[in-house]
């Protein structure tokens, strides 16, 4: 977007981000209060979760490897033993309030990835396993966990149209944490976003099933999809498709008859 001579004549007309992590991931991952209000944690569990995340943040600057190891035992379950989240909530999957175990499609996917025929087709070792190097990858990307991308996000918000999707019942990056972060950004539509009324969205019009909540400001469309967890595109695939299609077509998500002019069109 900033290169005056990109070589390839591509024009960015918008950015779509679903369950995105723009701010400090260690802050956004601390979903203890959300889990408590969802009824997944009692006060003791909430306090234990908060204390553990505080310990991870405290150790991050001193011993990042140890901090990552604790984080993996707290949330990500990189090992065969249950994570702290699992022990405190009884859930076997960390993604959605509505699902205490991995969806059937995910289970079938992991089984498929183990098949020798697929490994040969991908030129993988017969001993290769899914996620076997995740901790190593996390270690190499560890600096990203505490990187705040606000400068880049603020630039995008001012420079082009942007759609941000979150899941109402995301237990990993809670919607309330995502929205709090958005409200701290300094861009041309910041005040408008803070004052913007949240509109309920019924995909088939008033009286049909509630599909989400929409807030708009300048060229930003912020959508919370109901009944969707961390895997927002998979959990609410039809609704997500409609949102993306309307955004790409330049019409309002709630009122598909209303045209929305993007920043490039106004110029």
- Which sign does the torsion angle of CA 231, 239, 174, 152 carry? positive
Residue 5 lies in a domain: no
For residues 239 and 159, the answer to whether their CB atoms sit within 8 Å is no
Q: pLDDT: is 130 or 1 the higher one?
A: 130
pTM for the full predicted model = 0.88
Q: What is the pLDDT of residue 267?
A: 46
Mark whether 47 and 156 lie in a shared domain.
Answer: no
Strand-pair partners of 178: none
Residue 122 lies in a domain: no
Work out the average pLDDT over 175-196. 96
Q: Is the pLDDT score of 265 beyond 60?
A: no
From CA 64, how far away is CA 80, in angstroms rounded? Answer: 22
Q: What is the pLDDT of residues 251-263, one digit of tens each?
A: 999 987 777 766 5
For residues 170 and 23, the answer to whether their CB atoms sit within 8 Å is no
For residue 159, give Cα distances in angstroms to 156, 218, 245. Answer: 5, 11, 21
Q: What is the pLDDT of residue 256?
A: 79
Kindly give the pairing relationship between strand 210-217 and strand 162-167: unpaired
Q: 194-203, 207-216, 256-265: lowest mean pLDDT where?
A: 256-265
Residue 100 lies in a domain: yes
Mark whether 255 and 204 lie in a shared domain.
Answer: yes
From CA 204, how far away is CA 254, in angstroms rounded? Answer: 10
Residue 98 lies in a domain: yes
Domain that holds residue 195: 150-266
Q: What is the pLDDT of residues 3-46, one digit of tens each?
A: 666 677 777 789 999 999 999 999 999 999 999 999 999 999 99
Mark whether 87 and 158 lie in a shared domain.
Answer: no
Q: What is the pLDDT of residue 4?
A: 67
Mark whether 138 and 172 lie in a shared domain.
Answer: no
Mark whether 30 and 139 lie in a shared domain.
Answer: yes
Mark whether 96 and 198 lie in a shared domain.
Answer: no
Work out the average pLDDT over 62-78. 88
Mark whether 138 and 181 lie in a shared domain.
Answer: no
Q: What is the pLDDT of residue 133?
A: 80
Residue 49 lies in a domain: yes
> How many distinct structural domains can be found in the chain?
2
Residue 6 lies in a domain: no
Q: Residue 188 is part of a domain; what is its CATH number?
A: 3.40.50.12670
H/E stretch holding 194 = helix 190-195
From CA 216, how far away is CA 109, in angstroms rounded? Answer: 36
């Amino acid at each position: 977007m900033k290169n005056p001579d990109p070589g390839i004549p591509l024009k960015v007309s918008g950015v779509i981000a679903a369950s995105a992590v723009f701010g400090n991931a260690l802050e956004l991952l601390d979903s203890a209060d959300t889990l408590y209000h969802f009824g997944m944690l009692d006060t003791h569990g909430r306090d234990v979760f908060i204390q553990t995340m505080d310990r991870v943040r405290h150790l991050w600057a001193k011993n990042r490897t140890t901090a990552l190891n604790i984080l993996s035992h707290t949330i990500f379950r990189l090992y065969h033993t249950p994570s702290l989240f699992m022990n405190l909530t009884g859930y076997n999957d960390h993604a959605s309030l509505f699902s205490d175990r991995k969806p059937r499609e995910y289970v079938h996917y992991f089984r498929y990835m183990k098949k020798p025929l697929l490994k040969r087709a991908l030129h993988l070792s017969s001993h290769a396993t899914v996620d076997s190097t995740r901790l190593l990858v996390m270690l190499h990307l560890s600096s990203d966990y505490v990187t705040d991308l606000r400068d880049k996000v603020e630039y995008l918000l001012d420079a082009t149209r942007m759609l941000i999707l979150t899941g109402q019942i995301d237990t990993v990056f809670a919607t309330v944490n995502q929205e709090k972060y958005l409200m701290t950004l300094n861009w041309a539509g910041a005040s408008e976003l803070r004052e913007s009324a949240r509109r309920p969205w019924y995909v088939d019009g008033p009286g049909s099933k509630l599909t989400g909540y929409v807030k708009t400001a300048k060229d930003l469309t912020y959508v919370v999809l109901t009944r969707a967890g961390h895997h927002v595109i998979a959990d609410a695939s039809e609704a997500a498709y409609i949102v993306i299609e309307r955004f790409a077509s330049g019409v309002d998500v709630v009122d598909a008859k209303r045209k929305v002019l993007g920043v490039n069109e106004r110029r």
